[in-house]
Amino acid sequence: MSGQPPRLPYREFAKAAASIHASLIAVSKAVSESGLDKDLLELVKLRASQINGCAFCLQLHLGLARQAGVSPDKIDLLAAWRESGVFSAREAAALAWTETLTSLGPTAASDVDYAALLSQFNESEAMFLTVAIGLINHWNRIAIGLRFAPILAEASA
């Protein structure tokens, strides 16, 4: 968030665009039911949200990552995952793919990038992971565009 007031609070967005909100939640549910580990999905969502600077999604997914039992070391070192030495080869492949699809450039999602992903994931897992990354990037753009305020613990208590 830019320090500016929200253009539209999240809860108002969910009501005003109920069918869109429900569709996004349905896609998220489908990805969650794909068999990919919940911790992995939360790490991917956090990393994309870090890159995009989405405070709302960071706050939400930090809480969900903690609830899912993601190690505090992984949460703390996510921004420097390549240098940290705490992520598995599978997590590293997912995080590299997340960065590739979040910071799209002229050579993004190359065959080399995809082959690296497939060294750790089967094609079905890679497809669902790609959808998860696309979805969090979509949420980041909605939340940043409408300036959703993070839902802080003290505010929701």
Q: Is residue 152 very low, low, confident or very high in pLDDT (cuts 50, 70, 90)?
A: low
- Does domain 10-151 match CATH 1.20.1290.10? yes
Alpha-carbon distances, residue 131 vs 41, 73, 116, 124, 135 (angstroms): 11, 26, 17, 11, 6
pTM: 0.91
**52-72 confidence digits (pLDDT tens):** 999 999 999 999 999 999 999
Cβ pair 43, 78 in contact under 8 A = yes
